[in-house]
């Protein structure tokens, strides 16, 4: 160190601080400018939401043949470019589908954008920046938020014939193709399928168990036997990451048959009703924690199981049961490369047999609809190609086939909400080859309930509270529950009750913050 440099004088230092302060002032001025910009359009209150939802449910129940209007689309007056936002699943297939579409529709272009692993964040970032993709996947929680913000458009507003597709959809699933705020059909189906109860039949027979469990007490019992016989250290696993809400609903449904008006967590005014001893949620938590603490048939490491984790764990025989496996992952657990290939199968959700499911739709942005009639027509053509009926990649409701839906199920076992797709003999044969028993699966299709998403309604903060079924980020209940697994909470009734009271408080606070 040469001592030649002078230490900067006090005056200079103050000058620098002054410079920073000046920058702050400029920033403040700009901030003022932005703050003075015209306010965004007012968003509806959620009170309206509820009533609308109810009317929708009624409408769906009543409507048998929706109004039919002309289905022939006029030609495009200019070349249109449509951007299709996907998450990183089956990118190859999506690109191939886009290629087929483009070969048959030379007057427009469909191009695929992979919004990546953090799909929700990227989609919302694109929306917040005013540049959303034209058509994209929407899970119910994403759909709810974009509809609530009026970011997404209802396709039925522009093409009333979209409603005809409802007839092909399983009745229990129809609700999710309808915007709860407007009662209109907002998009078509990408995939829909139950969270099934999957198990390893080799483990069961090795343990001398004849039949899959009939109820959750039997699940616990069989897991104990399997553990005792040393077949599997922790027989019960679960899809933790994005299957967290579904896990609880499937256990609660195992004990309580859903009837119209059944509510597990909230009453009609969105007040928590779970924060007491003996509520379904309380019992479900108790059931799970007893498996973790008393039986030790569930590992405290259950939180490590994301979709890939639980599928490989099943396939390699490190777990026997999974109460909330996305149906197509049975195929993934049975791939020939894994040890237990061919042994993983499913049964109806133990107990009542009812299970929850996960529907994903194609949704279109309001911004795209505002670009003009040509873009509207183009998007509708794309949407019907991807989630509707086409012939040679051209919309054809009367004689066309569910081209992309069929491809999905045939290549990956990804199931659909359309009855014609699920009951197609070729598709059934394919499912069988993928080691998914189509009869069992369809039996579960008949016993589905919407309660995961309708307990009683979604709210904008629902996913932030429970944990999102479409993103790793966010969620209050999941981290708090993990305190049981790390040992920060004991599993006594009093502690469970405390936990429930705390998350009920979180819910109330979120509700209050949302101005309700």
Partner 1 sequence: MVSKTATLFICLIPALTPLFLFGFYPLTYAFYLSFTFYNLKTPIEPYFYGLGNYFALSEDPVFIRALQATGLFALITVPLITLISLGQALLLASQFKGVKYLQVLALLPWGIPLVVSSTVYRLFFDFNFGLFNDLMVKLGVINQYVSWLSMPWSALFIVALAHIWVNTPLPTLLILAGIQSIPKELYEAAYIDGAKTFARFKMVTWNWLRPIMLIVLVYSSLSALWCFDPIYVITAGGPADFTKLITFYTYEKMFSYLNFGHAGAITILILGLTGLLIYAYFRALRLGRVRLRV
Partner 2 sequence: MALNTKKSNLGLYIAALIVVIWIVFPIYWMINLSVQTEKEIYSVPPYYIPPNPNINNYWFIFDIDAAVKYFLEQGMSLFLFIPGSIKDFPRAILNSVIIAGVVMIYNLIAGTLGSFALTRIRFKGAMPLFYLSIVGRLLPPVVIAVPYYVIIRSIGLLDTLWSVIMVHIMFTMPFTIWILNTYLLGIPTDIEDAARVDGYSYFEILRKITFPIIKPAIVAIAITSFMISYGEFFYALLLTKTAASRTIPVIIGSAMSEPRVVKGLICAMGVLAMIPAMAIIIIFRRYLIRGLVAGAVK
Provide, rounded to whole angstroms, the least separation between the CB of residue 375 and partner 1: 25
Residues 291-330, mask of contacts with partner 2 (x by CB under 8 A):
----------------xx--xx--xx-x----------x-
The residues near 338 (Cβ < 8 Å, ≥ 6 apart) are 312, 315, 316
Q: Is 80 helix (H, G, I), strand (E, B) or coil?
A: strand
Q: Binding partner of residue 483 among partner 2, partner 1, none, CB under 5 to 8 Å per kind?
A: partner 1
* Contact present, 191 and 94 (Cβ < 8 Å): no
* Residue 131 binds to partner 2 (criterion: CB under 8 A): yes
The only residue of 19, 29, 301, 342 in contact with partner 2, by rule CB under 8 A: 19
209-268 residues in contact with partner 2 (CB under 8 A) are none
Residue carrying the six token digits 């498996």:
291
Kindly state the tokens that stand for 110.
Answer: 């469909």
* Residue 30 binds to partner 1 (criterion: CB under 8 A): yes
- Cβ distance to partner 2 smaller for residue 338 or 378: 338
The only residue of 58, 63, 68, 88 in contact with partner 2, by rule CB under 8 A: 88
* Contact present, 162 and 129 (Cβ < 8 Å): no
* Contact present, 185 and 60 (Cβ < 8 Å): no
- Taking CB under 8 A as the binding criterion, the range among 98-106, 168-176, 263-271, 474-482 that sits at the site for partner 1 is 474-482
Q: Is 359 helix (H, G, I), strand (E, B) or coil?
A: strand
**SS3 sequence of 246-285:** HHHHHHHHHHCCCCCCCCCCECCCCCECCCCCCCHHHHHH
287-306 residues in contact with partner 1 (CB under 8 A) are 299-304
* Residue 34 binds to partner 1 (criterion: CB under 8 A): yes
The only residue of 11, 42, 75, 129 in contact with partner 1, by rule CB under 8 A: 42
Residue 114: is it exposed, middle or buried by C-beta count within 10 angstroms (0-12/13-18/19+)? middle
326-385 residues in contact with partner 2 (CB under 8 A) are 329, 331-332, 335-339
Q: Is 403 helix (H, G, I), strand (E, B) or coil?
A: helix
Residue 250: is it exposed, middle or buried by C-beta count within 10 angstroms (0-12/13-18/19+)? buried
The only residue of 192, 198, 265, 313 in contact with partner 1, by rule CB under 8 A: 313
Half-sphere exposure of 93 (CA within 13 A, CB side): 17
48-81: buried (b, 16+ CB within 10 Å) or exposed (e) per residue?
ebbebbeebbeebeeeeebeeeeeebeebeeebe
* Residue 511 binds to partner 1 (criterion: CB under 8 A): no
DSSP category for residue 401? B
For the chain, how big is the Rg over CA atoms in Å? 26
* Residue 129 binds to partner 1 (criterion: CB under 8 A): no
The only residue of 206, 217, 472, 495 in contact with partner 1, by rule CB under 8 A: 472
Kindly state the tokens that stand for 211.
Answer: 């039949």
Rounded to 5 degrees, φ, ψ at 156 are -65, -30
The only residue of 25, 43, 128, 294 in contact with partner 2, by rule CB under 8 A: 128
Q: Binding partner of residue 335 among partner 1, partner 2, none, CB under 5 to 8 Å per kind?
A: partner 2
- Cβ distance to partner 2 smaller for residue 25 or 294: 25
The torsion defined by the Cα of 104, 108, 113 and 119, in degrees rounded to 10, comes to -100
96-115 residues in contact with partner 2 (CB under 8 A) are 111, 113-114
* Residue 485 binds to partner 1 (criterion: CB under 8 A): yes
The only residue of 35, 42, 129, 494 in contact with partner 2, by rule CB under 8 A: 129
Please give the sequence-ordered ranges of beta strands (E in DSSP) within 366-429, or none if there are none. 390-391, 394-395
Half-sphere exposure of 515 (CA within 13 A, CB side): 5
- Taking CB under 8 A as the binding criterion, the range among 123-131, 209-217, 382-390, 435-443 that sits at the site for partner 1 is 123-131
Provide, rounded to whole angstroms, the least separation between the CB of residue 296 and partner 1: 11
Provide, rounded to whole angstroms, the least separation between the CB of residue 9 and partner 1: 9
Kindly state the tokens that stand for 410.
Answer: 């045939």
The residues near 302 (Cβ < 8 Å, ≥ 6 apart) are 234, 237, 238, 240, 292, 485
- Cβ distance to partner 2 smaller for residue 2 or 51: 2
- Taking CB under 8 A as the binding criterion, the range among 6-14, 155-163, 342-350, 379-387 that sits at the site for partner 1 is 6-14
Residue ranges that bind partner 2, judged by CB under 8 A = 1-2, 4-5, 8, 12-13, 15-16, 18-20, 23, 83, 87-95, 111, 113-114, 116-118, 122, 125-126, 128-131, 307-308, 311-312, 315-316, 318, 329, 331-332, 335-339, 410-413, 430, 433-434
Residues at the interface with partner 1 (CB under 8 A): 1, 4-8, 12-13, 23-24, 26-28, 30-31, 34-35, 39-40, 42-46, 118, 120-121, 124-125, 128, 145, 148-149, 233, 241, 299-304, 312-313, 316, 318, 460-461, 463-464, 468, 471-474, 476, 478-480, 482-483, 485-486, 488, 513-515
């Amino acid at each position: 160190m040469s001592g030649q440099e002078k230490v900067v004088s006090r005056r200079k230092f103050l000058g620098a601080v002054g410079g920073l302060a000046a920058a702050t002032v400029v920033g403040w001025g700009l901030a003022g400018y932005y703050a003075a910009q015209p306010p965004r359009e007012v968003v509806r209150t959620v009170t309206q939401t509820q009533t609308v939802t109810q009317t929708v449910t009624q409408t769906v129940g009543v409507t048998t043949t929706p109004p039919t209007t002309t289905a022939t689309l006029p030609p495009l007056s200019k070349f249109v470019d449509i951007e299709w936002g996907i998450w990183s699943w089956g990118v190859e297939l999506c690109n191939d589908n886009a290629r087929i579409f483009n070969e048959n529709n030379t007057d427009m272009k469909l191009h695929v954008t992979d919004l990546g692993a953090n799909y929700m964040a990227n989609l919302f970032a694109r929306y917040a920046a005013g540049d959303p993709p034209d058509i994209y996947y929407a899970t119910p929680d994403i759909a709810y938020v974009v509809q609530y913000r009026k970011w997404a458009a209802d396709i039925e507003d522009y093409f009333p014939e979209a409603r005809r597709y409802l007839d092909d959809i399983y009745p229990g699933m129809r609700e999710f193709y309808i915007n709860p705020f407007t009662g209109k059909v907002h998009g078509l189906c990408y995939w829909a399928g139950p969270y099934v109860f999957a198990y390893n039949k080799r483990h069961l027979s090795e343990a001398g168990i004849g039949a899959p469990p009939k109820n959750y007490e039997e699940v616990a019992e069989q897991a104990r036997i399997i553990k005792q016989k040393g077949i599997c250290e922790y027989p019960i696993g679960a899809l933790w990451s994005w299957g967290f809400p579904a896990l609880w609903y499937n256990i609660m449904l195992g004990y309580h048959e859903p009837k119209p008006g059944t509510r597990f967590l909230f009453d009609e005014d969105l007040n928590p009703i779970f924060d007491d001893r003996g509520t379904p949620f309380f019992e479900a938590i108790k059931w799970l924690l007893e498996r973790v603490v008393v039986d030790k048939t569930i590992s405290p490491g259950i939180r490590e199981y994301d979709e890939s984790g639980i599928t490989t764990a099943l396939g390699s025989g490190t777990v026997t049961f999974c109460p909330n496996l996305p149906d197509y992952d049975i195929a993934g657990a049975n791939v020939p490369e894994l040890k237990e290939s061919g042994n993983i199968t499913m049964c109806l959700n133990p107990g009542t047999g009812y299970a929850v499911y996960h529907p994903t739709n194609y949704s279109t942005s309001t911004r795209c609809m505002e670009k003009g009639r040509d873009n509207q027509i183009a998007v509708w053509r794309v949407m019907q190609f991807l989630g509707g009926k086409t012939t040679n990649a051209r919309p054809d409701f009367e004689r066309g086939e569910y081209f992309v839906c069929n491809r999905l199920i045939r290549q990956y076992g990804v199931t659909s909400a359309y009855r014609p797709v699920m009951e197609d003999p070729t598709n059934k044969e394919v499912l069988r080859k993928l080691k998914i028993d189509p009869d069992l699966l369809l039996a579960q299709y008949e016993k589905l309930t919407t309660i995961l998403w309708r307990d009683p309604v979604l709210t904008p903060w629902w996913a932030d509270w429970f944990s999102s079924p479409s993103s790793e980020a966010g969620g209050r209940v999941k981290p708090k529950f993990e305190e049981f697994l790390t040992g920060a909470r004991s599993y006594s009734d009093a502690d469970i009750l405390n936990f429930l009271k705390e998350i009920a408080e979180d819910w109330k606070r979120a509700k209050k913050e949302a101005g309700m």
